[in-house]
Structure 1
Amino acid sequence: MSGEKALADLFEKAFDTLDPQEIKKAVDEHGIDKFISRCAKRSAIIGGICGAGGLTTGLLGLPFDVWNNVIQQFRVTLGVIYHQRGICSVGFHDFMKIVGVSVGVETGASVTSTVMLLIAFQILTRLGVSNVAGAVPITGSVVRGSVNYAFISGIGAAVKAIDMNAF
C-alpha cells in the first residue's frame, strides 16, 4: 500500500468516526462559535498533555496529538457545514474538498490521494512549531496546547468563511 493510499484511508477512518448527530446536537445547543471553541479546547488539552513531559512524551504523544487534531478539525468542519447548510450529511470526497480549502490546498473536481497528502502536509506544518518547544517540559505543554488551540480556532474561522454552496 502506498503512503498516499494509507493516508487517504486514515482520513476516511477519521471521517467515519464522526458522529453527525452528536455534532448537530452540540451546534444546536451551544451555537457554532462555542462548538468551535470546545473543539479547540479539547485539542489544546490533549496537546498540553502530550507536551507535558518533555522530549519523551512529546515524541510518544505526537501521533495521538496529530490524530486528535485531525478529528477536531473534521468535527469543526462538519459542525460548520451543518450550521451553514442545516444538514449534517456530506460525502467523504466533498468533505475533503472543504477540508482542503480550509488549509489552503487547491482542490479540483476530485480529491486525489495527492491532494490528501498536501492536506496532511499543511496540517503537520502548522502543528510542527509546537514540537520544537516540546523538548522542554512544561514549556512544551503550554506551547503545544496553545498551538493546537490556535490551529483549531483558525480552522473554524477558515471553514466559516467558505461558501458551502460551491460544494
Structure 2
Amino acid sequence: MNTETLLVKSFQKVFENMNQEGIKESVDKKGIDKFISDCALLAATTGAASGFGGFSTMIVGVPVDVLNNVVQQFRVTLAVIYDKKGVYKVSFPQFMKIVGVSLGVEIGATLTKSIMLSIANKIIIRLSATTAGKAVPFLGAFIGGSVNYGFIRGIGAAVKRIDMSSISFEQDVQLDDLKDN
C-alpha cells in the first residue's frame, strides 16, 4: 500500500470513529457557531502544546497536532452538514466531497480515488505549513495555537458557505466502491 492510499485509509478510520450522534447533540445544545469555536479551541490547544517547548516538543507534538486538526476539521464539517441538512450520519465518500469543496478541490459528480488523494494532500499541506514556526520555544506555541484556531474557524466558514440544497446524503457508499481514476 502506498503512502497516499494509507493517508486516505487513515482519514477514513478517523471518520469512522467520529461520534456523529454526539456531534448532532452538541450542535443542538450549543448551536453551530459555538460548536465551531469549541473545535477551534481544541485545535489551538494541541497547536500551542506542540510548539511550546520548541523543537523538543515539536517532534512528539506535531503528529498529535495534525491528527487533532483532522479530527476537529471532520467534526466541524459533520456539524455543518447536520446544521444545514438535518442529517448527522453520512457516508465517507459523500463526507469527503464536502471536505474537498471546503478546501477548494474541484469535484465532479463522481468521487474518484485520485480526487480523494488530492483532498488528502491538500489537508496535509495546509496542516504542515506552520511546522517550522513551532521549532521556536514559546513563540511556537503562539504560532501553532493561533494558526490552528484560524484553520478550523476558516473550515467552518467555508463549509457553511457550501450550497448543500441539491445534495442528498446516503449511508451505503463505501470507499472501496470508488472508481480508480
Q: Work out whether the TM-score is over 0.5.
A: yes
Contact 2:21 2:89 in 1 (8 A): no
Q: Which whole-Å deviations, capped at 9, do the CAs of 1:13-54 have from their partners, x for residues lacking one? A: 010111011101110111000000000000000111111110
Q: Which whole-Å deviations, capped at 9, do the CAs of 1:83-132 have from their partners, x for residues lacking one? A: 00112021110100000000111122332332222222222332333212
Q: For 1:117-132, list aligned pairs within 5 A.
A: 117-132=117-132
Residue 96 in structure 1 maps to residue 62 in structure 2: no
Q: TM-score, normalised by structure 2?
A: 0.87
* Map of 1:159 onto structure 2: 159
Q: Which has the larger radius of gyration?
A: 2
* Map of 1:146 onto structure 2: 146
* Map of 2:6 onto structure 1: 6
* Root mean square deviation, CA, Å: 1.3
Structure 2 residues not aligned, in runs of 5+ = 168-181
Secondary structure at the aligned position of 1:134 is classed as: helix
When you count helix as a share of all residues, which structure comes out higher?
1
Q: How many residues align?
A: 167
Q: Which 4+ residue blocks in structure 1 deviate beyond 6 angstroms?
A: none
Secondary structure at the aligned position of 1:141 is classed as: helix
Contact 2:8 2:120 in 1 (8 A): no
Secondary structure at the aligned position of 2:106 is classed as: coil
* Map of 2:24 onto structure 1: 24
Structure 1 residues not aligned, in runs of 5+ = none
Provide the rounded CA distance (Å) in 2 between the counterparts of 1:116 and 1:55: 32
Letter in 1 for 2:134: G
Provide the rounded CA distance (Å) in 1 between the counterparts of 2:4 and 2:74: 19
Q: TM-score, normalised by structure 1?
A: 0.94
Provide the rounded CA distance (Å) in 2 between the counterparts of 1:3 and 1:108: 24
- What percent identity do the matched residue pairs reach? 52
